[in-house]
Structure formats: structure tokens, C-alpha cells
Amino acid sequence: MIHQDPQIHIHNAIILELTLRTLERDKKHMDSLKTNFAFKAWIDQELKNLTRDLRDVSRTLGMHGMKVLEGIKEIDEYFVAYTIKTRGNDKELRYSKVALRNQVNEEVKKRLGLEYRGQQS
């Protein structure tokens, strides 16, 4: 069984990786904007920050003897599974695609300095 603290780090690793991929993909579609240089500069900075944050979370997971394996397994049109390598055996965690998309959107809002769902008042 995965304890609470490592599970938070696993979740963060998944969300950070998805956010990183989303911003990389979105950056490719910025050329049609008149102020694309400003948006690209922000995305480049956030890609650096996301890479650093993901590295830190991965390092923390490594200290717990865990790693989120790259590549997801499509279960159906609504769910995906991530394999978590642990000392001793592997675990499979299932996530709703809609929930992941919503959490990536919240992560982007947070990084933009906008109001987001997990914000403390």
C-alpha cells in the first residue's frame, strides 16, 4: 500500500508532467498571436520552473523508493492508468481523464497568478 505522503508526490508528479506537456504543445500554436513573444517568454520560463519542480518531486519519490513510469495505459475513453514502480512491486493507479484535465487547468491558473480552486484565502 502507498502511504499518504508519497501518494501526494505521485499525484504532483503526474500533474506536473501533464502540465509540462500541455504547455509545450500550446507553445507550438502561439505564432498566430500578435503578442506571441510575451506568451512564449512566459511559457519558456514556466517550462523551466515545471522541469525543476518535476525533478524535485521525482527526487523525493526516489527517496521513498518510488518512480512514476513514463507512458500511460489507456483503460477506456474515460480513464487512464499510471504504473508506479516501488521497492518490491509495482502499483497501478487509475485516474479520470476529465479530473486530470481539470487539475492541469488549475495548475496553469496557479502559475499564471490567477484564482484557482486549491487557493487558500
Mean pLDDT of the region 45-69: 94
- Per-residue pLDDT band for 88 (boundaries 50, 70, 90) equals confident
H or E stretch at 92? strand 90-96
112-121 burial by CB neighbour count: b if 16+ within 10 A, else e?
A: eeeeeeeeee
List the one residue out of 60, 75, 65, 73 whose CA is nearest residue 2: 65
d(CA 113, CA 102): 17
Phi-psi sector, 88: left (phi>0), alpha (psi -120 to 50), beta: left
**pTM for the full predicted model:** 0.86
pLDDT for 35 equals: 83
**Is residue 3 pLDDT above 90, yes or no?**
no
**Is residue 117 pLDDT above 70, yes or no?**
yes
**Is residue 116 pLDDT above 80, yes or no?**
no
Q: What is the 3-state secondary structure (H, E, C) of 106-118?
A: HHHHHHHCCCCCC
Backbone angles phi, psi at 96, to 5 degrees: -75, 135
Q: pLDDT tens-digit profile of 6-39?
A: 889 999 999 999 999 999 999 888 888 888 888 8
**Is residue 63 pLDDT above 70, yes or no?**
yes
Mean of the per-residue pLDDT values for the chain?
89
- 42 and 107 in contact (C-beta within 8 Å)? no
